[in-house]
Amino acid sequence: MVGYSRLMEAYEEYTFDWQRRLRAQVLDPGIAAYAGRVVKNTGDGFVAIFDSAADATHCALALQQAVAERTVEQPIERRIAFRMAVILADIIVEEDDVYGDGVNVAARLQTYAEAGGITISGAVADVLGSSLGVGTLDLGDLPLRNRTHPVRVFALRPPPAPARLVGDAQTDAESCPALTALPLPSVTVTVRA
């Protein structure tokens, strides 16, 4: 969730209530609708796995749209938004958690997404081709913290989110982890606030 620390400091009960509501009404059902499975909740995020990069990417697109629609009436200073990323990677799966380099890459890749946006790795872009029906912007080979080699990254350009009210300011100053989708020989999604 973008700006989680700021939101919790300023509007703790409101933020917690909305976060719980979004999880119950949007995130969990949305993940299940794309055959995903939540394997871990982290308070400000979660990890889920999917059978394919396509399922994870379509899920991320659907979740971003649903969250934007649900939160458009929130006051801008309290509005909840997520950053999401999808990567294709082998990971180690246990009953209630996932591990491995892919998890680390996904957590870092999502920091390049705009609030309400989605980034995908070059490997995901190669697998999906133009099948998503949304535009992409090639961000190039980007460095990731504590990684030797950069990762090719694309930003997805889904349909625009609901319009803001005139005068609404962007409160995207804080860079926090958001939803990260990793394909395990499938795909994993990690959300952090």
CATH class of residue range 4-162+177-191: alpha beta
Give pTM, 2 decimals: 0.81
Helix spans in the chain (H): 4-22, 28-33, 53-71, 101-109, 122-128
**What is the pLDDT, as a whole number, of residue 160?**
63
Show me where the domains of the chain are located.
Answer: 4-162+177-191
Task: Considering only residues 168 and 8, tell me which one the structure prediction assigns the higher pLDDT.
Answer: 8
Mean pLDDT calculated for residue range 77-93: 91
Distance CA 89, CA 181 (A): 10
Q: How many residues does the chain have?
A: 193
Q: Side chain identity at 126, as an amino acid letter?
A: D
Q: Which helix (H) or strand (E) holds 2?
A: none
